[in-house]
Amino acid sequence: MELPPRSADSPAWAKVGLIAVAGFVVGVAWPRVAGWKLGPDVPSDARAATSAREAREKKEPALMATTQATAATSAAPGPSGDGFEVSAVEITRCRDAKGKVVDKCDELALDPLLQPRLRDLTKCPSAIGLTGKVQLGFDLDFKHKALKVQRAKAKLPRTTLDGLTRCAERALSGVSLDDLAHEQVRYSAEYKLSFGAAPEPAKDEPPKDAKPDAAPEAKAVEITWRTTQVRKEPKTGAVIARLSKGAKATVLEQRDGWYRIEFGEPKKQGWVFREAIGQ
């Protein structure tokens, strides 16, 4: 029996080295020299994916903001497209810090603050199918920074008026009076709301078929009521003075049962109801 020599058990390291070099050339070096890509470049691909994700995240908030702004603009009611009108605010009375009624009230910039909220009354359940005019008053107390809605007034069922009042209270809740310029402490004001009505013609362009009341001859009259309110405009105008029974005045004009009179010293003018002067 012939036994192999001990040197035959040692590996042929030279061959192993040649095989390793050949494998490196074929598997790694040559593809790089030839410009071939056998697999993804993990770090580079990860950076590209991260950059793309960050770009999308930056665009999405701007896109959402633009979409929301567009939706809000399109949802905002027009001034009269829905048949609903809100008049300018009218200050009917004001009191100073001592609670004394002031003859001449300053103007309050309430319209930009309250008109947009009052337009939400078109969504009120009590306003569904409603047609007509509603007078909505409220009190402003700057000492306590409070706004209180008065009960709506109109020739409508009481339940409808109560429902509109509750909707108005919700619409005006949270209104802040902090930044509103004012001279007095307490004010009474009102808005006139028109539901389902076409816009009224401008005052300087009356309807062609309108017939103005005949102007009466100027004549002296006397106040017959115990106390009579003199208003700036007929029926719903701001109260500008109060006359006691027996006060003298001169009638200047008549309109729908209201008379424009001249009274006092110095002379002032305003409107009183016909029965207050015995007409």
Q: Residues 106, 184: contact at Cβ < 8 Å?
A: yes
pLDDT bucket at 25, cuts 50 / 70 / 90: low
For the entire predicted model, the pTM comes to 0.43
3-state SS assignment for residue 251 = strand
Phi, psi (degrees; rounded to nearest 5) at 264: 75, 175
Question: In angstroms, rounded to a whole number, what is the distance separating the alpha carbons of residues 51 and 58?
Answer: 11
- According to DSSP, the β-strands at 219-222 and 268-273 are unpaired
Average pLDDT over residues 232-254: 89
Per-residue pLDDT tens for 60-109?
Answer: 454 444 444 433 333 333 334 457 888 999 999 999 999 999 988 998 89
Question: In angstroms, rounded to a whole number, what is the distance separating the alpha carbons of residues 108 and 79?
Answer: 21
pLDDT bucket at 158, cuts 50 / 70 / 90: confident
**Amino acid, single-letter form, for residue 257:** G
Question: In angstroms, rounded to a whole number, what is the distance separating the alpha carbons of residues 270 and 249?
Answer: 10
Average pLDDT over residues 193-216: 54
> Cis link prior to 266 (omega < 30° from 0)?
yes
Q: How far is CA 270 from the centre of its chain?
A: 34
55: pLDDT strictly greater than 60? no
Tokens 């108005």 found at: 168
Per-residue pLDDT tens for 62-75?
Answer: 444 444 443 333 33
Extract long-range pairs of 25-30: CB within 8 Å, 24+ residues apart: none
Report which DSSP code applies to 28. Answer: I
CATH 2.60.40.10 fits 219-277, yes or no: no
Alpha helices in 81-199 (DSSP H): 111-118, 158-172
> Cis link prior to 40 (omega < 30° from 0)?
no
234: pLDDT strictly greater than 60? yes
Residue ranges of domains in the chain: 84-195, 219-277
Average pLDDT over residues 24-52: 54
Question: In angstroms, rounded to a whole number, what is the distance separating the alpha carbons of residues 239 and 252?
Answer: 18
- Look at residue 127 in the predicted model and tell me its pLDDT: 84
Report which DSSP code applies to 17. Answer: H
